[in-house]
Amino acid sequence: MKSILELTKVGIVFDTPKGGFEALKDVDLKISDGEFISLIGHSGCGKSTVLNIVAGLLQATTGGAILEGKEVNEPGPERAVVFQNHSLLPWLSAYENVELAVRQVFKGSKTRAEMREWVEHNLNLVHMAHAMDKRPEEISGGMKQRVGIARALAMEPKVLLMDEPFGALDALTRAHLQDSVMEIHAELKNTVIMITHDVDEAVLLSDRIVMMTNGPSATIGEVLDVDLPRPRDRLALADDAGFNRCRQRVLQFLYDKQRKVQPMPAKSGKGQAASGQAVEKADSEALRQA
Amino acid sequence: MSEFTLPTWIESYRDLVTGKANKAQVSELARKLGLPVLGLLAFLFVWHVAAASIDTSLGKFPGPVDTWAQAQNLYAEHKVEREKADAFDERQRKRIEERLAVDPDYEVKWRDYTGSPTYLDQIYTSLYTVLAGFLLASVFAIPLGIIIGLSSSVYAAINPLIQVLKPVSPLAWLPLVTMVVSAVYTTDDPMFAKSFVNSMITVSLCSLWPTLLNTAVGVTSVSQDLNNVSRVLRLGWLAHIFKIVLPSALPMIFTGLRLSLGIAWMVLIAAEMLAQNPGLGKFVWDEFQNGSSQSLGRIMVAVITIGIIGFLLDRAMLGLQRWLVWDKQAVQR
């Protein structure tokens, strides 16, 4: 399969009051059309920064991302983002939230009736058609995230970017949503980049798992091909040898090779964890300025 | 059949009347109705006692009884004045009819009755002056607040200026406003009286600031995630303002509007006193200058009227806010 998205020598340096802080260095990645990629790593390793560079919300200092032969340098609906905390407009209903995106993306190319149908189609896809007139405050966290996914899918993105989409949800809801995402991916065959902390989630959903080293100057440590047949069933995979081998590989990377030194509260053992926080801080600061 | 259900607060009254009220309902009613009434009675008593022991050059300070008598007086005067006006119109109509019967070519000239404004007329004048001033202030403050809030540089540049202008008293503005208005607003056939324009502008200048500041703060605190959504969707700047910024900031804007209306009403009374706008402020001033034995009682009526109208304006604003704002939690009491 030809690659749709290419990251070449991506590096980013944030300006901080204490001087430049290199969060990412030499990130190289080629993603094929229809591939489901997970980015996994300890918090603060710069996973979100990679995603934000692909989204265009942050600008790489060196290198860059090329989507279908065009360099990415601003955000756009062809790289729709599902944000961690749903980011729905609280004053609009589920339907109106999706409609806002559809109107913006398809004005001029779809009639009103087609838009309506398309909004409803996408809400159906995430099983939210029954609650489309509800406001975000009236539905559960999982349902909000479903609407967030519907909004992103409705933009017909070339690449769907998901920033820890299920991070704030309880385990059961998360499992439901993972199943939904697998279902949708099987149906639409879209290209997805997902950030996660959850090893099982990464193995269950992905075609490839990209494991990142700890920052500063984080980069890709290992890439694991998950060649488990689809459709995947979480129950059947629970004691599947292939599934467990993949799991083992990722766990080994995270807890053995890239072991994160947790600072003891009283001691001055700052080390890597502290610099990890610095990445996150610099990251959010850069986003605010952007 | 009980398909028709009453609001719960009426239900508890019904239960009280029919003797079915339980303990919780009785104590709820006692809290909601009993305590305020008790507070009011206590206040009236203290007022009555205190008033009796204050002597002024215009006689005793008016107690609740005198004040009530003056309120009735004012209403009676209003009715008398209205009757006079009606009678005047009636006479005029008759005269015109008779004249037309004799001389069909007669060009009709209608003369309005020119009596002095009654107390109710003055309340009406005050109300529309304050609303005009408040609207004028909002028309400037909301867009300006959005511009200031959108750019942190503009905010930093303008904020000190706002902080200095905000605490300026209406009395300081009024002479300046008066001079500028009489220099600029010169027509032979003015649509508005100058006293009205002066009061309105002074009210605007003083009530502008809470709306301006709250709008700016509301706009600066639009969530970063929503801004990112807007960027991913590539919303144009106008769409960004109307679809993301304005709805986000609406709860804060309303908080500002409510504060502004409160200030506007307070400022208005002072402005009317000095600008001689025929509203409640002028009424108080005139009664003070008049100095009859009834004057203090009448001023007391005005004080109570001002309080009640201020309260009602605030409630109306709150109702509007509850109706318009999506974030019901942001609407406090």
- Residue range B77-91, pLDDT digits in tens: 888 888 888 888 888
Do A270 and A180 belong together in one domain? Answer: yes
The confidence score (pLDDT) of residue B34 equals 85
CA distance B28 to A104: 52
Residue-level pLDDT at B207: 92
A170 and A151 in one domain? Answer: no
pLDDT at B6: 60
Q: Cβ distance A131 to A120 under 8 Å?
A: no
- A71 and A166 in one domain? yes
Domain that holds residue A272: 3-79+159-289
In a shared domain, residues A166 and A251: yes
Q: Do B234 and A76 touch (CB under 8 A)?
A: yes
Note the pLDDT of residue A268: 44
Omega of the bond leading into B104 within 30 degrees of 0 (cis): no
The neighbouring-strand residues paired with A64 are: A8
CB contact under 8 A, A83 and B229: yes
B247: which chain A residues are within 8 Å (Cβ-Cβ)? 89, 91
Q: Are residues A63 and A165 in the same domain?
A: yes
Q: Across the interface, do B243 and A89 touch by the CB < 8 Å criterion? A: yes
* B45-55 average pLDDT score: 89
What structural domains and CATH numbers belong to chain B? Answer: 1-37 (no CATH), 119-330 (1.10.3720.10)
Contact A39, A51 (CB under 8 A): yes
Same-domain pairing of A7 and A68 = yes
Q: What mean pLDDT comes out for the span B267-276?
A: 89
Q: Does A67 share its domain with A198? A: yes
A8: part of which helix (H) or strand (E)?
strand A3-16
Q: Say yes or no: A166 and A265 in one domain.
A: yes
Residue window 266-295, chain B: list those with CB within 8 Å of chain A: none
Q: A14 forms bridges with which residues in the sheet?
A: A21
Claim to verify: residue A30 and residue A143 sit in the same structural domain: no
pLDDT of A270 reads 43
Q: What is the CATH number of the domain that holds A230?
A: 3.40.50.300
End-of-domain residue from the set A138, A156, A174: A156
Which of A74, A85, A104 is opposite residue B235, by nearest beta carbon? A104
- Bridge partners for A40 per DSSP: A196, A211
Search chain A and give the residue with CA nearest B231: A75
Judge residue B90's burial from the number of C-beta atoms within 10 Å of its C-beta, 0-12 exposed, 13-18 middle, 19 or more buried.
exposed
A228 min Cα distance to partner chain B (Å): 33
- Strands A62-67 and A3-16, how do they pair? antiparallel
Asked whether the beta carbons of residue A83 and residue B244 sit closer than 8 angstroms, the reply is no
Map tokens 């649509």 to a residue: B191
**Which pLDDT belongs to residue A79?**
93
Share of chain B above pLDDT 90, in %: 40
User: H helices of B151-169, where?
Assistant: 152-165
For chain B, give the percent of residues with pLDDT over 70. 94
Are the beta carbons of A77 and B233 separated by less than 8 Å?
yes
Of A126, A156, A186, the residue at which a domain comes to its end is A156
Mean pLDDT by 10 residues, chain A (290 residues): 86 89 90 93 86 92 90 91 90 94 92 93 90 90 92 92 88 89 90 92 93 87 90 88 92 84 51 47 54
For residue range B168-222, list pLDDT tens digits in order: 888 888 888 888 988 888 777 777 888 899 999 999 999 999 999 999 999 998 9
For the beta sheet containing A3-16, the strands, ordered from the edge strand earlier in sequence to the opposite edge, are A19-32, A3-16, A62-67, A70-71
Q: How confident is the model at residue B322 (pLDDT cuts 50, 70, 90)?
A: confident
Q: What count of other Cβ atoms lies within 10 Å of the Cβ of residue B300?
A: 22
Question: What's the rounded mean pLDDT across residues B45-68?
Answer: 87
pLDDT in tens, A131-189: 989 999 889 988 999 999 999 999 999 999 999 988 878 888 889 899 999 999 998 89
Residue A158, helix vs strand vs coil: coil
Of A133, A156, A179, the domain-final residue: A156
Alpha-carbon dihedral B24, B25, B27, B31, rounded to 10 degrees: 130
The confidence score (pLDDT) of residue A267 equals: 44
Q: What's the complex ipTM?
A: 0.83
Helix, strand counts (H, E) of chain B: 13, 2
- Amino acid A104: pLDDT: 92
Contacts of A72 in chain B (CB under 8 A): none
Chain B contact set for A288 (CB, 8 A):
224
Q: Give A251's contacts (C-beta < 8 A, 6+ positions apart).
A: A199
Asked if A100 and B233 come within 8 Å (Cβ–Cβ), the reply is: yes
**Largest distance between two CA atoms of chain A:** 64
Confidence class for position B129, pLDDT limits 50, 70, 90? very high
Count of domains in chain A?
2
Q: Is B231 on the interface with A (CB under 8 A)?
A: yes
User: Which pLDDT value is given to residue B2?
Assistant: 44
**Residue A142 three-state SS:** helix
Do residue B232 and residue A55 have CB atoms under 8 angstroms apart? yes
Contact B325, B331 (CB under 8 A): yes
**What is the per-residue pLDDT for A192?**
95
Give the pLDDT band of residue B299 (cuts 50, 70, 90).
very high
Query: Which residues in chain B have their CB less than 8 angstroms from residue A101's CB?
Result: 233
Nearest residue in chain A measured CA to CA from B247 = A91
Listed residue (B257, B265, B261, B260) closest to B305, CA to CA: B265
In a shared domain, residues A280 and A211: yes
Q: A249 with A107, same domain?
A: no
* Helix intervals (H) in B119-245: 119-150, 152-165, 170-184, 194-220, 224-232, 237-239
Q: Minimal Cα distance from B239: which residue of A?
A: A104
- Same domain for A67 and A170, yes or no, is yes
B52 touching A, CB under 8 A?
Answer: no
